[in-house]
Each structure stands twice: as structure tokens, then as C-alpha cells.
Amino acid sequence: MHKDLIKFVRKEFNSEEFIPLHIPTFKGKEKEFLAECIDSTFVSSVGAYVNLFEDNLSAITKTKKTIAVVNGTSALQVGLRLVGVKKDDEVITQALTFVATANAIAYNNANPIFLDVDRDTMGLSPKAVKNFLEEFGELREDGCYNKKTGRRISACMPMHTFGFPVHLDELLKVCQDWSIPIVEDAAESLGSEYKGKPTGGFGEVGGFSFNGNKIVTCGGGGAIVTNNIDLGNRGKFLTTTAKQAHPYEYVHNELGYNFRMPNLNAALACAQLEQLNGFIDNKRELATRYKTFFDSKGINFRTESEDTKANYWLMCLELNNKNERDLLLRETNNSGVMTRPIWQLMFRLPMYQHCQIDSQENAKFLEERIVNIPSSVR
């Protein structure tokens, strides 16, 4: 099967050279917009393209306010602060995720609680959250508390793994019942939809990434989105060094962040956003061909769940066991076709080994079996 897969991938990407997992595609107005930005001399944190990017992303995500920031991690970090996460609080999230999800919590001096995922979405399981809160949760006048630790549970942060949306209706209901705001880690899911609505706008705030390997990139960049104008304005204030408006004085009245997206990056992002629908159509066509190929081999190619539309940012296989996974990884990478395992579970990392977890049954199952395969726009 491995030789057939390598042959199939090389044909799809029309290359006998090294084939990466995901590379950016620049076929639009990137050079034109960058030249305009350079000619304007506004290449740093202020400029027309920052404003245009924020407006365009709000339109795409159907949210009322977007704040352009330097990367997806900073978007999540500030997003958590916006919903009230404070030092020594706890945030419910998933262990099966990229490390930025957990780091954004730690940067707020808060503590992750790692709960299990659903096998179909590979994202945070509403059932796992419900079970945890029924065992450990305690509602008080000022929010939900963890009876085991005595700490306040001040947010829940699901991550839409590889662009596959989590079961949002169920998760929203559980968190509403327990007075816990949701911060969506939508770093990987730009263009994905849940019941016809774009991801990122379901929680109080959402965070996106525009890193070089994302479906839309500006080299480095991120964004906070929200339907709460007050939170959005505060997010803009905090990410621009918490500087109060004044014609010439420098007045900063609280601890802020220099997390501003440069106009130069925003110009690139604007050109990329114009191509988003085409990128998604291209990737969904590739996913259809991958599924046909792997169905013929009796291998589970992971597809979107009911009531969702996935952007198929990174496409993946589910092998039967870890030995099969490791063999595929070895054979493909040795042949110049890049594949990668899913992330190591967060509670295995030294800085998060102290964190509270549940059984992690599904997360451990997926950790041993999931492999990402080349997913670039062709």
C-alpha cells in the first residue's frame, strides 16, 4: 500500500521531488498588494490593509469585530483574558491539540484541564465536559469552581482539529448550564462550517492563525473574532499596548501587549483571503480523491461529520494500530513524501504533567493511529 500511496501522491502533486505536508499558494494579488503597501510606507502596525483585513475576516466569519494580531497563539492568549481568565484559574480544553492551545492558557498564569475528545471530530467532547463538571463542578455566585482544586473554571477552549468542527451545539449547552464562556481555538478551521455557520463565531471569542502552513497565510499572523463589540474594542486596546487615545501623549493605563499585525503582513493576508473559497474547493476535491483511493485499500480516510463542512486543512488517515502508523510514517518520509503523526498528548509534556485529566480513552486511541498526509492546494 505504501508504494501505491507514494505513487498516488506524486501524481496528484505532479512532482518527483520532496512533497511537504502543506505549503502556501500565492496565485492572487499578493505581489500587487505588497507593492502598494511598500509604496505607502505604512509597513508596520498601522495601515489600510490592517483595517481591510479585519473587515474582510469579519465578513468571512460572520462576526461583528476582528482584531488583527501577530499570531494565533497571541489571539488565544488575549481571547482568554477577554472572557475573564485570571491567574490561578482553570480552563477546560483538550489534550489532543497543538501545544499553542495549552500555552495560551499558561501565558495567562492559568491551569489547563485536559478532557477527552470525540473520535469522529477529534475535538473536545461535550460528553466528556459534561461528565467532568457533574463530578467536579460547583456553581457559585461568581461562576463555576472545581471541587477538587478549589479553583475557578473560567473558560472552555475547544480546538477544531485539522479543520473538523467539534459538536458545538452540545458543547455550548453544557458550558451555558455551567456558566463557562467558550473561546474557540479556530486556528486550523478558517472556512469550516458547523450547521452552515463559520467556525470561530460560536463562542464569546474565537482565535485564528495565519502561519505559513495554514490554508490562508501572511507568513505570520493571527486574529481574534467576536460578536461582542465591547470585547472586541477591549481586545484591540490590549493588543496595541493598552495605549489610550491622545493626539501626542503616551498614556498606558494597564498591562497590554505589542501583538499588532504589521500592515505588510495584512496586505499579504488580504490577497490570500480573496482566494479562500477556491483553496477550500481545491482541497475538498483532493479529499474526495484521497477517500476513493483509501477506500479501495480498506483504510479509514477521515472525513467531515454530519452537519459540518470541513476545510480539510490537514488531511489524515486512521490506521489500525501504532505499528501500522509507524511503518507508514517511516516508508513515506524515507521516500520523500512528508507525513506526520498527530501531536503528542499535552499531559505527556513536562510542563503539563501536573494538570488534571480524565480517562483520555479516545485521545489515546487517536494518538496511536492518526497520520497527516500531503494536503496542499495544487
pLDDT value of position 110 = 98
Task: Note whether 116 and 46 are same-domain residues.
Answer: yes
Task: Note whether 174 and 314 are same-domain residues.
Answer: no
Question: CATH number, domain at 289?
Answer: 3.90.1150.10
Task: Note whether 285 and 180 are same-domain residues.
Answer: no
Residue at which a domain ends, from 241, 275, 309: 275
Task: Note whether 209 and 312 are same-domain residues.
Answer: no
Average of per-residue pLDDT across 331-360: 98
In angstroms, the Cα distances linking 49 to 27, 34, 277 are 19, 10, 20
293: in domain:
yes
351: in domain:
no
Classify the phi-psi angles of 329: left when phi > 0, otherwise alpha if psi is within -120 to 50, otherwise beta: alpha
Q: What is the mean pLDDT of the chain?
A: 97
Is the pLDDT at 275 greater than 90? The verdict is yes
Work out the burial of residue 283: count CB atoms within 10 Å of its CB; fewer than 13 is exposed, 13-18 middle, 19 or more buried.
Answer: buried
Task: Note whether 124 and 173 are same-domain residues.
Answer: yes
227: in domain:
yes
Q: How far is CA 229 from the centre of its chain?
A: 22
Average of per-residue pLDDT across 245-252: 92
The tally of domains found in the chain comes to 2
Beta-carbon contacts of 242 under 8 Å, excluding residues fewer than 6 positions away, are 252, 253, 254, 255, 256, 257
Tell me the pLDDT tens digit for each residue of 94-121: 999 999 999 999 999 999 999 999 999 9
Owning domain of residue 339: 2-21+276-346+356-373
Task: Note whether 253 and 331 are same-domain residues.
Answer: no
Q: Quote the CA–CA distance of 131 and 13 in Å, as a whole number.
A: 45
pLDDT value of position 39 = 96
Helix (H, G, I), strand (E, B) or coil at 249: coil
Task: Note whether 217 and 321 are same-domain residues.
Answer: no
**Whether pTM exceeds 0.95:** yes
Average of per-residue pLDDT across 291-305: 97
Among 191, 167, 136, 170, smallest CA distance to 310 is for 191
Task: Note whether 269 and 281 are same-domain residues.
Answer: no
Beta-carbon contacts of 260 under 8 Å, excluding residues fewer than 6 positions away, are 44, 45, 50, 68, 69, 70, 239, 240
Is the pLDDT at 79 greater than 80? The verdict is yes
Q: Please state, for a pLDDT cut of 90, what percent of the chain lies above it.
A: 98
Task: Please report which confidence band the pLDDT of residue 50 belongs to, taking 50, 70 and 90 as the band edges.
Answer: very high
Task: Note whether 304 and 260 are same-domain residues.
Answer: no
Average of per-residue pLDDT across 171-184: 98
pLDDT value of position 96 = 98
133: in domain:
yes
Residue at which a domain ends, from 248, 275, 302: 275
Average of per-residue pLDDT across 244-267: 95
37: in domain:
yes
pLDDT value of position 341 = 98
Residue at which a domain ends, from 275, 292, 309: 275
Task: Note whether 63 and 161 are same-domain residues.
Answer: yes
Task: Note whether 369 and 227 are same-domain residues.
Answer: no
Question: CATH number, domain at 147?
Answer: 3.40.640.10
Is the pLDDT at 172 greater than 90? The verdict is yes
53: in domain:
yes
378: in domain:
no
Task: Please report which confidence band the pLDDT of residue 300 belongs to, taking 50, 70 and 90 as the band edges.
Answer: very high
Work out the burial of residue 140: count CB atoms within 10 Å of its CB; fewer than 13 is exposed, 13-18 middle, 19 or more buried.
Answer: exposed
Q: Quote the CA–CA distance of 353 and 97 in Å, as a whole number.
A: 15
Vertex 64 angle, CA 280 and 48, to 5° = 80
90: in domain:
yes
Task: Note whether 259 and 282 are same-domain residues.
Answer: no
pLDDT value of position 1 = 72
